Structure 1
Amino acid sequence: MSIDLRHALWGPVAVLGVLLLATTARAEPVLPLETWETDNGATVLFYATETLPMVDARVVFDAGSARDPDGKGGTASLAAGLLEEGTRDRDAKAIADGFARVGAEFSARANLETTAIRLRSLTESDWLWPAVEQMSEVIARPAFDQADFERERDRQLRAIESRKQSASAVANDTLREVAFEGHPYGHPTDGTLESVARIEHDDMRAFHDHFYAARNATVVIVGALDPDEARRLADTLVGDLPAGEPAEPLPTVPAIDEDRVERVPFPSEQATILMAHDGVPRTHDDYLPLYVGNHVLGGSGFASRLMSELREKRGLAYSTYSHLLPLRAGGRFVMGIQTRNDQVEQALELMTDELAGFIEQGPDDEELADSKANLVGGFPMRLDSNRKITEQIGLLDFFGLPLDYFDTYIERVEQVTADEVRQAFAGRIDPERRIVVIVGPEADDDHDGE
């Protein structure tokens, strides 16, 4: 089968064209979605593209590391990795050969909140349906063989050990632990050496049986299919799953009520600093003003205030940044920098001053206009491939966002005011209540966070 590459980007290009229309007449939806439920209760979202004979399908379960059993962090990641190791009828080689034979791409991966299982295939029947049926088998009937479990657990332990060689990875893992202390978000997705060692073979089947259920799943389909084909595809992918129930809501992320500094010795030339403050869940009304404001403060690369003050004016680092971490049950606002060990205190002071000044004053008119223009101009790039479209649609459902979210995004960004940014930052972020993680060479113990 040959594909005319002149048409290979038609679907994404069509989306870009609609996005441009949406800034003026908004004559049609950016992503006209069809949605329904399968007979066993899975939510399906379908976006039909044209010309390119490809389909991207994703089954998303509320089964990320936040659902790991107590004391057994890394269970979700281990279960996802084992999906590729075989089913009750086929071993890992047969699974890999089956997808390769029809030119399909398959992957399964757990993150903090979800496990996503992905398929990319040509839509030609002789190629598509064998891939879809095999993916269904992988999802519903994994083998979880004892030998595969032990091998995959060893691989995961090696990956954790490898992360300990990266100051950035150590800083991020430590920040999650202390910034979400006592919450299901508070451990690395792959777990720790101690927690993974506690995971037993039976935990795999128990985790799968509990969370891999149709009512705990969303199926996203993007590609050159008609609605009947999309329904058949969704039914095939999840039809053999039990109906089950949605996962229980997670507890609300607690507010940070202290100023805490966590130092982690690390043999590096520089210190890695991460600073976390309270944030908001993804669906909070203040999310968009915080998002637009963060673009000014530290989310726009070299154009941000943090880069101007700490890199350009002070020469403290090559890069410094800030970002929102909005989750279902809460969130954090995170600032970061890498700098020389003897400049740690200066960098911390300047980052805190910049945040405090921004909370008090907000962005000026020029900064706000530039931020909006950058966000609006960059928005089409979030939907410039079928893979990205599939990811974005999946996020809509997982966070409970309206299906017309993309239709109104540009308008809502353009309507954010400087006062809304100031009020959102002032109401949600307190510079004096923070979690600081410093990973780097040993230093004098003269900073106790008070």
Structure 2
Amino acid sequence: MFTDARNALWLPVFSLGALLLSTASRAEPVLPLETWETDNGATVLFYATETLPMVDARVVFDAGSARDPEGKGGTASLTADLLEEGTQKRDAKAIADGFARVGAEFSASANLETTAVRLRSLTESDWLWPAVELLGEVIALPRFDQNDFERERERQERAIESRNQSASAVASDALREAAFEGHPYGHPTEGSLESVATIEHDDVRAFHERHYVARNAIVVIVGALDRAEAKRLADTLVGDLPAGEPAEPLPPVPALEEDRVLRVPFPSEQSTVLVAHEGIPRKHDDYLPLYVGNHILGGSGFASRLMSELREKRGLAYSTYSYLLPLRAGGRFVMGIQTRNDQVEQALGLMADELSGFIEEGPGAEELSDSQANLIGGFPMRLNSNRKITEQVGSLSFFGLPLNYFDTYVERVDSLGADDVRQAFARHVDPDKRIVVIVGPQEQDENAE
């Protein structure tokens, strides 16, 4: 029964999609969210559904790797992983058996800015409330046993060693460090072998004590509940946490001041190339024109300019792309390609030319219209399940965006003109200031950095 219900989560897409596509002419909200605070200060957002007897809940803490203690990168990730290893009342097996017994799913993971603890359950009382109570215990009363800590730290080190065997992962980590140099965003979420080795048992306890507090939490609930049930669910999940205080704002991301190339030796037949330019925080008025412009330039797969110019016309790569990395305290605009080692400079030159041309001329009328139609038509698929809605709503709250954001999305995307896109890129992306990371054989680059 649980599996059948879970596989049917796509059903709401038809009604939700119709509502989204007619937003501009409708008065009712796309997602009629209710919001309140728990007695200890956690923010709660609730969206009631009627399609399936299920509920998805997500507790989002401002406790990502940007909050790792200085020199101890990987602490947030290790803390999240240890939540599954038992509480002060039960061991890991009892936790796993407890969720399995009621057909519920639970997970916890850290990323760059947040740690998210997730629950999916049927709404039948005999199954829902035991799962919710168990998750509340996991969040508030983790055991953090010394043996579990040492085992999970070793597992994280093995994961880092495995990651270091991937050229794309090495490039991503090197770009992050260089593009956010000196900023809390600048180290890998899992940390490095050197940083993880310095993490001690007390560091995990201290991280949990500081960041897993109610005023640093957002609770998102989506499912077939009424408000009273949703309130009980939120209170049960975070009610035993101390109120605490929200994490301090991160410093702004520093502007890029130079054009710099970083070459990382790696035994591969191709080179992985990433290029970071200036970007914006997520809560910026120019986010949508940059988002639409990126879709045209390199974010739409085979329909993008980069793919057309570098793959289709010149055969330089199987894939080339661009993306926005908009965060709370700033961001970057990134372009990437994997190409033959002897074609790196040609590829870099063409990518730079495409970006400069786009900034100078903007998108053509037809490609802008096609991009807008694609983004508007595909948007309902970002909200076609309880799980996706919890992700989107959690992001809105975390980034401080208005909760009616989806109500005007279609209208705002559709109203953008080519000059809006061009000017947004011109304001924020300087082609002459960039961080270039090249991961691959470096035999001929003896004088490289």
- Aligned partner of 1:385 in structure 2 is 385
Unaligned runs of 5+ in 2: none
The answer (yes or no) to whether the contact 2:56–2:222 under 8 Å persists in 1 is: yes
Does 2:368 match 1:376?
Answer: no
- Aligned partner of 1:65 in structure 2 is 65
Give the AA of the match of 1:19: L
How many angstroms apart in 2 are the aligned matches of 1:27 and 1:258?
48
Give the AA of the match of 1:269: E
Change (3 A) 1:286 1:232: same
How many angstroms apart in 1 are the aligned matches of 2:14 and 2:417?
31
The answer (yes or no) to whether the contact 1:9–1:52 under 8 Å persists in 2 is: no
The answer (yes or no) to whether the contact 1:261–1:436 under 8 Å persists in 2 is: yes
Does 2:112 match 1:112?
Answer: yes
The answer (yes or no) to whether the contact 2:13–2:384 under 8 Å persists in 1 is: yes
Shift of residue 286 of structure 1?
1.2
- Aligned partner of 2:176 in structure 1 is 176
How many angstroms apart in 1 are the aligned matches of 2:265 and 2:165?
12
The answer (yes or no) to whether the contact 2:171–2:274 under 8 Å persists in 1 is: yes
Change (3 A) 1:66 1:56: same
- Aligned partner of 1:208 in structure 2 is 208
Give runs of aligned pairs for residues 34-433 of structure 1, distance below 5 A: 34-433=34-433
Deviations 1:206-259 (A, max 9, x none): 000000000000000000001100000000000000000110000000001011
Aligned-residue RMSD, C-alpha = 1.4
Question: What is the DSSP-based 3-state SS (H/G/I as helix, E as strand, rest coil) of the residue aligned with 2:88?
Answer: coil
Change (3 A) 1:7 1:371: closer
- Aligned partner of 2:20 in structure 1 is 19
How many angstroms apart in 2 are the aligned matches of 1:439 and 1:373?
36
How many angstroms apart in 2 are the aligned matches of 1:132 and 1:175?
40
Give the AA of the match of 1:355: L
Deviations 1:264-294 (A, max 9, x none): 1111110000000000000111111111111
Question: What is the DSSP-based 3-state SS (H/G/I as helix, E as strand, rest coil) of the residue aligned with 2:81?
Answer: helix
Q: Percent identity?
A: 79
Unaligned runs of 5+ in 1: none
The answer (yes or no) to whether the contact 2:21–2:377 under 8 Å persists in 1 is: no
Change (3 A) 1:240 1:428: same
Give the AA of the match of 1:201: H
The answer (yes or no) to whether the contact 1:7–1:51 under 8 Å persists in 2 is: no
Deviations 1:14-59 (A, max 9, x none): 3223223325x22411100000000000000000010311000000
Deviations 1:137-164 (A, max 9, x none): 0000000000000000000000000001
The answer (yes or no) to whether the contact 1:106–1:119 under 8 Å persists in 2 is: yes
**Between Structure 1 and Structure 2, how many residues are aligned?**
448
The answer (yes or no) to whether the contact 1:298–1:321 under 8 Å persists in 2 is: yes
TM-score normalised per structure 2: 0.98
Deviations 1:322-345 (A, max 9, x none): 000000000000000000000000
Change (3 A) 1:113 1:3: closer
Question: What is the DSSP-based 3-state SS (H/G/I as helix, E as strand, rest coil) of the residue aligned with 1:284?
Answer: coil
Shift of residue 349 of structure 1?
0.6
The answer (yes or no) to whether the contact 1:11–1:50 under 8 Å persists in 2 is: no
Change (3 A) 1:55 1:351: same
How many angstroms apart in 2 are the aligned matches of 1:348 and 1:447?
19
How many angstroms apart in 2 are the aligned matches of 1:447 and 1:363?
39
The answer (yes or no) to whether the contact 2:9–2:384 under 8 Å persists in 1 is: no
Change (3 A) 1:159 1:338: same
How many angstroms apart in 2 are the aligned matches of 1:10 and 1:280?
35
Shift of residue 7 of structure 1?
6.7
How many angstroms apart in 2 are the aligned matches of 1:426 and 1:433?
13
